[in-house]
Structure 1
Amino acid sequence: MTTPTSIRFDAPVTARLASYVARHPGLTRSAVAARYVDEGLRMDEHPGILFREGPTGRRATVVGGPDVWEVIRAVKAARSAEPELSDEELMAMLEDNTGVPRRMIRMALDYWGAYPEEVDALVAYADRVEGECATAADRETSLLRR
């Protein structure tokens, strides 16, 4: 549920906001302002996290690294494959296997801890798309076999 809030912007900010909305049909000034305020507050709460646009929409990413959902997906897969590893051993394995430094993995974990539904939805989407692609590839292989 949204709550109406009156905010005054300086003229240059208002002009940039109007320009952005004009270049992105379907968005309103209110929606864009709310999105950027929310993202700005999240970035303030979670240093090292920023937001980018992509095929799945805007998503949290680690500055200079992968998307948060990619890190969380790797953590979940590693934990599932190696349930006996300590937290430190798991982090070392992830760092070695992905090339993502521990500090970046920690940033992603911290963000996921605050916004698990958002991140888990992206992980679930990636899992579903990967499964669909594998099924399509299997069908193609079956069709081409003698």
Structure 2
Amino acid sequence: MARSTSFRIDDVAKQKLAARAARDGVSATSLLERLITEGVDQLDYPGIVFRGPAHDRRAALAAGPDVWEIIARLRELDGSQEHRIATLSAESDLHPRLIRIAIDYAAENPDGIRERIDRNAAMAEHSRQAAQQREVLLA
């Protein structure tokens, strides 16, 4: 539940916030909430950044893939967590420490990660079905 909170910010910060909110087509309050949430997450999980448009933000490694992609790949692998991390590290050249940060972030935010994985699976299935329909049509 949202509650009213009062913050004092200097004029320069307020102008920057208002200008960016206008560019993104969102309210200053909405942008401020997103910046606070993402900023705290970035402090808690060094190496995590956020990408994408305002309406569709996603967590990612600063110099790597989205967190959901890391988790999806780890789910495909067999073995213990450490074995999966080692395998993914060898496949991707991601340092195991970064993979663990992604896992920690995902463990704290499982709903958003699951949603991304499910959305990607649905899109892949849709593409597979469309390809089958084209094959049938052209047979």
The TM-score with structure 2 as length reference comes to 0.92
Is 2:24 aligned against 1:48?
no
* Aligned with 2:126 (options 129, 132, 136): 132
How many angstroms does 1:103 deviate by?
A: 1.9
* TM-score, structure 1 normalization: 0.88
Write the distance in 2 (CA, Å) between the matches of 1:98 and 1:107. Answer: 15
Residue type of the partner of 2:57?
Answer: R
- How far 1:135 moved relative to its partner? 0.8
* Counterpart pick for 1:122 among 99, 110, 116: 116
CA distance in 2, matches of 1:43, 1:139: 44
The 3 A distance-change label for structure 1 pair 10 and 39 is same
2-side partners of 1:56 and 1:21: how far apart?
Answer: 12
1:14-29 → structure 2 map (5 Å cutoff): 14-25=14-25, 27-29=26-28
* Structure 1 range deviating more: 55-64 or 1-10: 55-64
Change (3 A) 1:56 1:65: farther
Secondary structure (helix, strand or coil) at the match of 1:61 reads: strand
Amino acid at match of 2:84: L
In the alignment, the residues of structure 1 paired with residue 81 and residue 24 of structure 2 have an alpha-carbon distance, to the nearest angstrom, of 44
Cα 1:40–1:24 change in 2 (3 A) is: same
Please, what is the CA RMSD of the aligned residues?
Answer: 1.7
Q: 1:56 to 1:131 in 2, by over 3 A?
A: farther
Q: What is the percent sequence identity of the aligned residues?
A: 30
The unaligned stretches of length 5 or more in structure 2 are: none
Give the structure 2 partner of residue 104 of structure 1: 98
- Contact 1:21–1:29, Cα closer than 8 Å, also in 2: yes
Structure 1, residues 73-112: CA drift from partner, whole Å, max 9, x if none?
Answer: 111122xxx2xx2332222222223343322211110100
State the match for 1:60 in structure 2.
Answer: 59
Give the Cα separation in 1 of the matches to 2:54 and 2:94. 22
Distance (Å, rounded) in 2 between the aligned partners of 1:87 and 1:112: 14
How many residue pairs were aligned? 139
1:90 aligns with 2:88: no
Give the letter aligned to residue 124 of structure 1.
Answer: D
Quote how far apart the aligned CAs of 1:16 are: 0.6
